Amino acid sequence: MAAVFCAFLLFTCLVKTLCSSDADSVRFNATFSDTNRTWFDWEGSLNVTERPEGENGTLAPFSMPAAAPAEPSPAFPEEEAPEPTARPDLARVATAALPLPLSGALPLPVTRASDLCPCNVQSEQCDVNCCCDPDCSQEQALFTHCSVKKVTGDYKLCSQDAALYTLSTTPEGLSQVRTSFQQEFNPDVFCIQSANYEQGMSFVTPSTPTEQNFDYLFGHFVGFFFGSSSVTGSALETPVQGNSPGYLYGDIIQTEEEAGQRGFFRLPASAGTANCLDTNPAAFLKDQTSRCMRSFALAEDCTTLEALKLRTYTSFRIFSGKDTEANLVAMWVEAVTLQSLEGTQTLLETAADSAFEPEFLQPADVCNQVVLQVKYTVRYGEAGQIVRVAVSFVLGAVNSAMLPIQQEFQIAFVQEAKSDTMLRSSGNPGYVVGLPLVAGWRTAEGIIQSSNPEGSLTVLQSSADQDCLFSFPQRSPVLFGKDVVSGCTFRLEDGANCSLVSEAILGRLKGQSFPDYVASFGNSLPQNTMDWVPIGNQTTITGTQGCNIPLSYHLEVRWTKYGTLVNPQAQIVSVVEIIRFNTSTLSSLSTGGTIVPVTSSVSFIDVSASASPGFRVPPTINAKLPFDFFFPFV
Amino acid sequence: MAFYEVYSHPALIRYRSSVCTRATLFVLIVFGLTYIPPLLIAYRSQGFWLKRSTYEEQPVVQFQYQMLMIGATGTAGEFVAWSTFPNFNRLLGNNLRIPSVSVREEDSNQDGKSDRLSLQLAVPLKAGEQIYSIQLLLIFSYQLFRMSTVVMQSLAFIQHSSSVPGSQLFISGDLTLHQRTPLPHRGLHTAYNVSVVDGASPFASAYDLTNIIRAYQERNLTTHLSCPAPVWIVGRAVNAPFQINAEIRYPVESVSYRPGFWEVIKFAWIQYISVLLVFLWLFNRIQTFVFQNQNISQ
């Protein structure tokens, strides 16, 4: 038994000896570059490998090159210069390049602990507290401690050389370095007794780069580095794919600027921050909406900043296709809407082809006709040809309190030669989560729908001033499957006309044009009135006396899943609006002029029964094994 | 004269019976009771089939020398930014501010795997500019080899903001792995070996941090920088650049995986056999008792 164990130990030692020979060359392909790279920046590679266990600086001298190239001889007097003939492959080819140390060959590694002094970094000068520095003779008296106390050989050897440096104090009170060399023994059972393969204790000799093998070495050792990305600045030039004269999906639209040079269609957008990045290209067939922030100095930049001018967004012409003989398509200003300081918008007759330059009104400190919204509608024909580009603007007045402004840019692609009235359905057939509810008004011949793509069923959007009565109403569409809540406040003045206030608040909650029918499917046709669900009303007026003011408006949409289990379609079953009025009298509501909050909310309730199998099974004895009883087999 | 045992051997007693007897039935019942209940006991006491296990491995992490930096230089939305992606730099226009960056990856234990990354980034600032917040995106190549080979590109996202302008941000943390579902026990996984940031795209949406992080967090395997104590140094001289000092270590990760078929069988067998031994002993005694006392006719 003991013999077997001894044989095992012997075998382990042997294996360790052998394996250490190429321990440095066996590693994953992806990582070898690091180890080898240390050879090339070895001016600084005399770094002591401080092993964390033990306070002494323990060296692994086998793993480091012998000398700093600056001073090969004084630190290593015993080292002979290696004969160049022994390593012809190391002779440098390009002598004009950075010289290798010792005239063309790599120095031999130093393995003797007594010759190593990692803290000796200044040539011919004493390094403070470096007890092994041979340049220090007088200065040793001033040392307070030794920065390197111990230098040892390879820690894997069973018996290793160790040089110990200690400071002692002379009777005069001065320091004195004591150097002692000794053999240290490794307590590890699996230490190396004798290394029969000396080269295995050091890194493999790197092959010197020459003109012939440089590409191979570069490809073999290179990892990641700065500037390695092959992405160049030519991404803006759309590569010609195939013979298609028109644009493909995602292509950058080529333009001709006012001065005649080629450019690309820009649609400012934000990335990383909210600021507008003006050079963002627009891509063919990618509908985009971007809102970004533009900060500028009102007086200085009002008339000079290009991004505020309408001309910036219309002055270029678009190439209808990618090829060189493509036609040029000019911008067609479809509509211009002017927005006042308060936010009221007026649509201008576009026939008046005025310039719409921003103008700075000195006394009022207002910059007028600033571009706030740009909407491009690009019509494309077959084979990706751009036929027509229409653009509509919102120009607004901006004062210093409104800075920085938000600009909105939108681009939409519409196929030419189709019907102009583009009806977007909110699902096919069932509603899709996130698309607006389809609503309309019932007439004798069917349902009338609004052409607004955002849907006609809207919900109040909370505004900054929170005023139900006097603020500019902002509304957002009711999106299927998304429960929302918002609100506003009002303050009842004494002597206010109750019915007028009630009417105003109800109008604010429901919106100007409140539909009375909702499509049960996302693509219900207006002529099929049976597909439409009336909006019910569950208004309860509790207080009969006095005045009733709506305090909350709730829209409850019940929907169910319809169809197969794998592809359920959402179908709206019923829509009920629930308006809650004040229960107490108006006087208590407005005591002391308190602010009364009014909320508006929408909730979607899934009323479909949970999925059940579509076939009847005869009753069976339910005595079966758990589903994962034979887990790895089935 | 004392006696001692010279030799002993067990005597074999054979009980014979025909097929259709009560003895046969008894033997069959005992056989079933011996071998099936241990299976039920081992299963019902949970953990019979090993479904998830973990192993430890230090990943091979390499900094890809790709980064994206955004710093807010004012309280009104002014910013400077830079990245290693030329298309993003082109988008930035006047807000581009090229910092000086120094990077070093260290392999402290010489095992061929990098252990830490030290990164210094100095953003030069004009007079009047101050840094209020900094966002830094670093892209790494992350590889696991022990069970299934995983090669992916991953992110470390550093984000810090302060109401007081600073001169330096010091980050010292670990790049830790997060996984939502365990890895398979073998095979090659390169589904996430795609660029986290599409540097070839000229569009601003490709560099929007919201889009990048949203797409990244959808992945099963992600890394993030766990840095509990970022240090924000307040106060900066006018000419001095803003500095980011980051020390990111690549620690040993414990990776969870789904064990393979034979590993599952091995652990199930251990559990089954240990319960079966008790049953074998018990029913052996019962059988011996029954047949010795001739309780059943053979």
Please state the rounded mean pLDDT for residues A562-574: 89
Q: Does B95 touch chain A (CB under 8 A)?
A: yes
- Listed range (A113-122, A395-404, B183-192) with the worst mean pLDDT: A113-122
Say which range, A405-419, A589-603, B85-99, has the weakest mean pLDDT: A589-603
Residue B254: φ, ψ to 5°: -100, 120
pLDDT at residue A624 in the model: 76
Contacts of B111 in chain A (CB under 8 A): 27
The verdict on a CB contact (< 8 Å) between B86 and A231 is yes
Average of per-residue pLDDT values in chain B: 92
Question: Is residue B233 very low, low, confident or very high in pLDDT (cuts 50, 70, 90)?
Answer: very high
β-strand pairing of B149-179 with B231-234: antiparallel
Residues 6+ apart with CB under 8 A from B29: none
Distance from CA of A179 to the nearest CA of B (A): 29
CB spacing of B199 vs A229 below 8 angstroms = yes
- What local confidence, expressed as pLDDT, does residue B138 receive? 95
* Residue to test with chain B: of A38, A58, A224, most B Cβ within 10 A: A224
pLDDT of residue A67: 36
A370-385: average pLDDT? 89
Asked if A275 lies within 8 A of B200 by C-beta distance, the reply is no
Determine the average pLDDT of the residues in A102-126: 75
What distance in Å separates residue B9's CA from the closest CA in chain A? 30
**A626 near B CB under 8 A:** yes
CA distance A536 to A575: 6
| Cα A468 from Cα A475, distance rounded (Å) | 12
Instruction: Return the pLDDT at A63.
Output: 36
Q: Does B261 sit within 8 Å of A632, measured CB to CB?
A: yes
The pLDDT tens digits of the residues spanning A315-326 come to 888 988 887 677
Round the CA-based radius of gyration of chain B to a whole number and report it: 34
Return the half-sphere exposure (C-beta side, CA atoms, 13 A cut-off) of residue A345. Answer: 13
Mean pLDDT of B64-77: 91
Most confident segment among A256-265, A409-418, A574-583, B190-199: B190-199
Give the predicted TM-score (pTM) of the model: 0.77
Q: Flag whether pLDDT at A269 surpasses 60.
A: yes
In A390-409, the residues whose Cβ lies within 8 Å of chain B are 404
Contact list in B for residue A628 (CB cut-off 8 A) is 49
Q: What is the pLDDT of residue A291?
A: 92
User: Which whole number is the average pLDDT over B205-232?
Assistant: 93
pLDDT score, position A24: 38
pLDDT digits over B261-289, tens only?
999 999 999 999 999 999 999 999 999 99
Which residues, in sequence order, are bridge partners of residue A540? A580
- Of A421-430, A612-621, B190-199, where does mean pLDDT reach its minimum? A612-621
Q: What is the mean pLDDT of residues B67-77?
A: 91
| pLDDT bucket at A612, cuts 50 / 70 / 90 | low
* Beta-carbon pairs below 8 A across chains A and B: 123
Q: Whole-number mean pLDDT of chain A?
A: 75
What's the CA angle centered on B239, arms B235 and B240, to 5 degrees? 55
Mind listing the pLDDT tens digit for each residue in A533-549? 999 988 776 655 667 78
Q: What is the bridge-based pairing of β-strands A366-380 and A405-415?
A: parallel
Residue B55: pLDDT over 60: yes
Residues 6+ apart with CB under 8 A from A249: A283, A284, A285, A286
Comparing A625-629, B21-25, B169-173, B195-199, the range with the smallest average pLDDT is A625-629
CB A505 within 8 A of CB A542: no
- Partners of A224 on chain B (C-beta within 8 Å) are 62-66, 141
pLDDT at A360 over 70: yes
pLDDT band (50, 70, 90) for residue B180: very high
Q: Which segment of A33-37, A193-197, B219-223 scores lowest on mean pLDDT?
A: A33-37
Q: Which residues contact A285 (CB under 8 A, 6 or more apart)?
A: A247, A249, A250, A380, A413
Residue A460: predicted pLDDT? 87
Q: What is the pLDDT of residue A176?
A: 83
Residue A618 touches chain B, beta carbons under 8 Å:
no
> Residue A281: what pLDDT?
92
Q: Is A213 a residue whose pLDDT tops 50?
A: yes
Of A225-234, B49-58, B103-112, B128-137, least confident by mean pLDDT is A225-234
**Range of lowest pLDDT (A56-65, A508-517, B143-152):** A56-65
Q: Which residues of A touch B95 (CB under 8 A)?
A: 275
Instruction: Parse chain A into domains and list their residue ranges.
Output: 107-197, 241-418, 430-610
Looking at A4-13, A139-148, A301-310, A513-522, which range is the least confident one? A4-13
pLDDT in tens, A164-183: 888 888 888 888 888 888 88
Cα separations (Å) of A317 from A178, A265, A389, A390, A623? 86, 9, 10, 12, 76
* Burial class of residue A137, CB neighbours in 10 A (0-12, 13-18, 19+): exposed
Over the stretch A322-358, which tens digit does the pLDDT of each residue have? 876 778 888 888 888 888 888 788 888 765 556 788 8
- Please give the structure tokens belonging to residue A426: 């909110």
What is the predicted pLDDT for the residue at A376?
Answer: 93
- Where along chain B do its domains lie? 22-51+262-292, 54-258
pLDDT at B298: 55
B87 CA to chain A: closest CA distance, Å? 6
* pLDDT per position as a tens digit, A1-30: 444 454 454 444 444 444 443 433 333 333
Q: Is the pLDDT of residue A162 over 80?
A: yes
Q: Does the distance separating the beta carbons of B49 and A632 come in below 8 Å? A: yes
Lowest-confidence pick of A48-62, A272-286, B15-29: A48-62
Quote the pLDDT of residue B50. 93
DSSP per position, B57-101? E--EEEEEEEEEEEEE-STTS-EEEEES-HHHHHHHGGGB-PPEE
d(CA B68, nearest CA chain A) in Å:
10
Decide if pLDDT at B154 tops 70.
yes
**What's the rounded Cα separation, in Å, for the pair A397 and A358?**
9
What pLDDT, in 10s, does the model give residues A447-492? Answer: 888 777 666 788 888 888 888 887 777 888 899 999 999 988 887 7
